[in-house]
Amino acid sequence: MRIRKLAFTAVLIGALCAPVFAQNNVSPPGVNQLLLLPPAERYPRIRSAIAELEEARKELRAAPHNFGGHKETAIRAIEEAIRELREALRYAR
């Protein structure tokens, strides 16, 4: 069950980050470039993904229906994805 949650979270994160790469036609910066940036400016796509996930969570919570019984599961998966991304950013400092 835990592996399934982690897989779902990884897919969700990838799905949210992919359009940012495609839209900006930008590849992720190299490790050396990242180390030159102040910590608050590193990994802007991950920070953007967190913001998008937070908005998606708000939208789901406000929705009047339960999406075929998937609403609560989706909210929990989004919350887990946000926690993992924030932890990753903390680790990267």
The number of residues in the chain equals: 93
Q: How far apart are CA 78 and CA 40, in angstroms?
A: 23
**Residue 81 burial by Cβ neighbours in a 10 Å radius (0-12, 13-18, 19+):** buried
What integer pLDDT is reported at residue 8 of this predicted model?
66
Angle among Cα 81, 87, 91 to the nearest 5 degrees reads: 145
What integer pLDDT is reported at residue 61 of this predicted model?
96
What integer pLDDT is reported at residue 41 of this predicted model?
74
What integer pLDDT is reported at residue 92 of this predicted model?
77
Residue 54 amino acid letter: E
Which residues of the chain register pLDDT less than 70? 1-36, 38-40
What integer pLDDT is reported at residue 91 of this predicted model?
84
- 82: nearest Cα among 9, 2, 5: 9
Q: How far apart are CA 87 and CA 93, in angstroms?
A: 10
What integer pLDDT is reported at residue 93 of this predicted model?
72
What integer pLDDT is reported at residue 20 of this predicted model?
57
What integer pLDDT is reported at residue 17 of this predicted model?
62
